Structure 1
């Protein structure tokens, strides 16, 4: 059951990022991120009130808040990246590090010892990131060697998502949903600070706001599903399965937006998929 919940979490994350990625092409990615998290906070509050109960400790709230900081950084810079570059490139870049970071923290600070296959997966992360982030000087495969647009923002987002997954997995199984609500509030605060620092507009109204807020609510459902998955499955498995979300926006971008990958990027995506799969074997 834990595996199914994690996969449903990945599906929700993927749809969220695709919808908000489209919105980021017409509006500031930071503005989209802010309103998406506001919508997500509203749903989180409703779910927490409906479910009730829970015995969250101060530590649970602390982990929830830290997870929200990671979420805020992740979505702010991911949507910024999607407003700059191809969705089929920046979303995978934002994901590989999100899986690798919990592994590295587990090894360095939590005493975990990954299997040999997982170490191979970790070693595959840098070349996968380099290949995926390469851009062409034309629509063909002639490489200019420069970073693809949005790559740097996607790398920052990657660290944020790693913190999001790692911290949320530490929340107690009987804590209820209030730590999730706190994480959403923290994400809104972080994005508001980033938005102000970049001088991005804060307003978003009409149909775009409805779509963005609904997608943000779906993102909150995704993190709730992930939290439940970690209570029924090993964090490693739940994290890797939830981190399969790039498959959704990448496939939709290739099919609906007619985005194209060059050979190096395609090879990088394959390396990234293999890396994630091997890391799951830790």
Structure 2
């Protein structure tokens, strides 16, 4: 069940990244990020109230807050990179580096001990993530002078991804979904001062704002599924499976945007499927 929950989280995040990337081309990334985190907070609060917790400790709130800081950082820099038309740079950099940091932390600091088969799956996942999200053409990739800033966006986003996954996994199961809600509140508060500088950008249509909020709610659902996965599966495995989300926007790009699959993308998609099998059997 932990494997299925982690994969469901990946699917949610894949749809969120695809929709957020498309919306960030039309709406300022600061607006998409803030409204998204607001939508995420609303869904997380509703879910936490509907599923009562046995006991919420201060430590659980602290870990949830750390996760929220990571989420806000990841989404801000991810959306900024996407708004520069650099999907094939910022997504693979953030995904690959984020999963590597999370796995290393799980193994060296949290006592995770993946089986040899699981290690093989982890090793297959890293190049698969890169190929599936960086192997496309015609996605409006940035060139020239922007490549440096875009790479920086991806690396900073990866630190946020790692903090988000590691922090949330430390919350005690008895805390229910309140760590997710605490994290979403922290993310909104952290983004407020930054968003204030872009208030003029909020003069968008109600439809665009609604989409941003809905996208954020999808991200919260992805986090909830991931949290449940970590309670049934070791962190290293749950993170790797949840981090396969770049395969979803790639598949959607092929199906919805009629993009042509490249050899690298095809290899990445097949490798991702192999990684899922290996991690499931491990």
TM-score (ref. length: structure 1): 0.80
Task: Give the deviation of 1:18 after TM superposition.
Answer: 1.2
RMSD over aligned CA atoms reads 3.9
**1:53 is matched with which residue?**
53
**1:257 is matched with which residue?**
257
Secondary structure of the 2:173 match is coil
CA–CA distance in 2 between the matches of 1:194 and 1:276?
38
Relative to structure 1, is the Cα distance of residues 226 and 112 closer, same or farther in structure 2, using a 3 angstrom cutoff? closer
1:31/1:195 contact within 8 Å kept: yes
CA–CA distance in 2 between the matches of 1:78 and 1:200?
21
1:230 partnered with 2:224: no
CA–CA distance in 2 between the matches of 1:236 and 1:27?
35
2:92/2:134 contact within 8 Å kept: no
1:100/1:122 contact within 8 Å kept: no
CA–CA distance in 2 between the matches of 1:4 and 1:256?
25
**1:192 is matched with which residue?**
192
Task: Give the deviation of 1:59 after TM superposition.
Answer: 0.8
CA–CA distance in 1 between the matches of 2:2 and 2:130?
29
1:87/1:250 contact within 8 Å kept: no
Deviates most, 28-37 or 204-213 = 204-213
Deviation track 1:197-235 (CA, whole Å, cap 9, x = no partner) reads: 788834544101111111111111111111111112222
CA–CA distance in 2 between the matches of 1:246 and 1:29?
19
Task: Give the deviation of 1:126 after TM superposition.
Answer: 9.2
2:37/2:213 contact within 8 Å kept: yes
**Structure 1: unaligned runs, 5 residues or longer:** none
Relative to structure 1, is the Cα distance of residues 80 and 271 closer, same or farther in structure 2, using a 3 angstrom cutoff? farther
CA–CA distance in 2 between the matches of 1:60 and 1:98?
22
1:92 partnered with 2:92: yes
Task: Give the deviation of 1:191 after TM superposition.
Answer: 2.6
- How many residues are aligned here? 277
1:41/1:181 contact within 8 Å kept: yes
Secondary structure of the 1:68 match is helix
**2:151 is matched with which residue?**
151
CA–CA distance in 2 between the matches of 1:110 and 1:260?
42
1:148-227 pair list within 5 angstroms? 150-196=150-196, 201-227=201-227
2:136/2:265 contact within 8 Å kept: no
Secondary structure of the 1:156 match is helix
CA–CA distance in 2 between the matches of 1:258 and 1:148?
29
**1:16 is matched with which residue?**
16
CA–CA distance in 2 between the matches of 1:6 and 1:129?
19
1:256-275 pair list within 5 angstroms? 256-258=256-258, 266=265, 273=272
TM-score (ref. length: structure 2): 0.80
Decide which structure has greater helix share: 2
Task: Give the deviation of 1:87 after TM superposition.
Answer: 2.9
**2:30 is matched with which residue?**
30
Deviation track 1:124-179 (CA, whole Å, cap 9, x = no partner) reads: 9599869976999x99xxx9899488332122111111111111111111111221
Task: Give the deviation of 1:34 after TM superposition.
Answer: 0.6
1:247 partnered with 2:237: no
1:128/1:268 contact within 8 Å kept: no
**2:76 is matched with which residue?**
76
Relative to structure 1, is the Cα distance of residues 185 and 202 closer, same or farther in structure 2, using a 3 angstrom cutoff? farther
